[in-house]
């Protein structure tokens, strides 16, 4: 059966395909771009979980198929958890990774002590069925924020987050290395048994 990936973020889609395939999910995975008539979801929730559920329900209702969604972001301790759910549009324009990253580094420019540059990525992974049933789980990746972007893999804030216990940034890890430890990997590996239980 088909499972909709309720996202238009190409970085997420390629990670999700790998994570879900590695976890043994055999459903045909179709991105939201295959349904251009479905309008962009307004992310009006105040938590990652709420926004992930909004996206999953919108696509499930519109397509009549089960849908999974990812709402994620970077939470910086010294900024009180910002950018958080606003990570994709921190500098203004939605999805401008370069501008978001430059703004974040500028905001942290005066903080030299690594103990005050701690942050984590959070990912909420939601499943929604056309009949309204829903599930949501979360994953986290903790790390420290570098002063300069390094590496060219991944997307978003990957070039500045160095996971705890790593000497490389997320953007220097291979996709498989990142998925093995990432917030997205943790959340979607936890969602797979739930997908199996509800869909099979």
Count of residues that bind ligand ITT according to CB under 6 A: 25
Q: Does 58 bind ligand ITT (CB under 6 A)?
A: no
Out of 139, 156, 163, 185, name the contact with ligand ITT by CB under 6 A: 156
Q: Which residues pair with 70 in a beta bridge?
A: 125
5-42 per-residue burial string, b: 16 or more CB within 10 A, e: under 16: bbbebebbbebbebbbeebebebebbbbeeeeebeebe
Q: Is 155 annotated as a binding residue?
A: yes
Out of 70, 138, 172, 186, name the contact with ligand ITT by CB under 6 A: 70
Instruction: Please calculate the CA angle 17-29-198 and round it to the nearest 5 degrees.
Output: 105
| Gap between the Cα atoms of 104 and 83, Å rounded | 9
Q: Does 186 bind ligand ITT (CB under 6 A)?
A: no
Alpha-carbon torsion 189, 20, 17, 5, what sign? negative
Out of 58, 63, 87, 162, name the contact with ligand ITT by CB under 6 A: 87
Q: Does 138 bind ligand ITT (CB under 6 A)?
A: no
Q: Is 200 a catalytic residue?
A: no
Out of 73, 139, 163, 185, name the contact with ligand ITT by CB under 6 A: 73
Element (H, E) at 121: strand 118-128
CB of 153 to ligand ITT, least distance (A): 10
CB of 88 to ligand ITT, least distance (A): 3
Of the candidate spans 95-103, 107-115, 129-137, 185-193, the one that interacts with ligand ITT by CB under 6 A turns out to be 95-103
CB of 70 to ligand ITT, least distance (A): 6
Residue 149 main-chain phi, psi, to 5 deg = -65, 140
| Gap between the Cα atoms of 11 and 66, Å rounded | 21
Q: Does 154 bind ligand ITT (CB under 6 A)?
A: yes
| Gap between the Cα atoms of 168 and 56, Å rounded | 33
**Which residues contribute to the site for ligand ITT (CB under 6 A)?**
7-9, 12, 43, 55, 70-74, 87-88, 95, 97, 100, 121, 154-158, 170, 182, 184
- Cite the active site residues: 71
């Amino acid at each position: 059966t088909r499972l909709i990936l309720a996202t238009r973020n190409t970085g997420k889609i390629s990670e999700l395909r790998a994570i879900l395939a590695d976890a043994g999910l055999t459903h045909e995975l179709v991105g939201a771009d295959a349904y251009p008539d479905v309008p962009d979801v307004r992310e009006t929730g105040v938590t990652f979980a709420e926004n992930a559920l909004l996206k999953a329900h919108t696509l499930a209702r519109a397509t009549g198929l089960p849908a999974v969604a990812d709402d994620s972001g970077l939470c910086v301790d010294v900024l009180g958890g910002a950018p958080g759910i606003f990570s994709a549009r921190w500098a203004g324009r939605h999805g401008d990774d370069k501008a978001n990253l430059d703004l974040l580094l500028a905001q942290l420019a005066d903080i030299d002590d690594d103990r005050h540059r701690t942050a984590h990525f959070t990912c909420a992974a939601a499943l929604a069925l056309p009949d309204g049933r829903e599930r949501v789980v979360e994953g986290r990746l903790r790390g420290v924020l570098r002063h300069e972007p390094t590496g060219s893999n991944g997307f978003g804030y990957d070039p500045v987050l160095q996971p705890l216990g790593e000497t490389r940034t997320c953007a220097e890890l291979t996709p498989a290395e990142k998925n093995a430890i990432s917030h997205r990997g943790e959340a979607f590996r936890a969602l797979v048994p739930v997908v199996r239980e509800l869909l099979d």
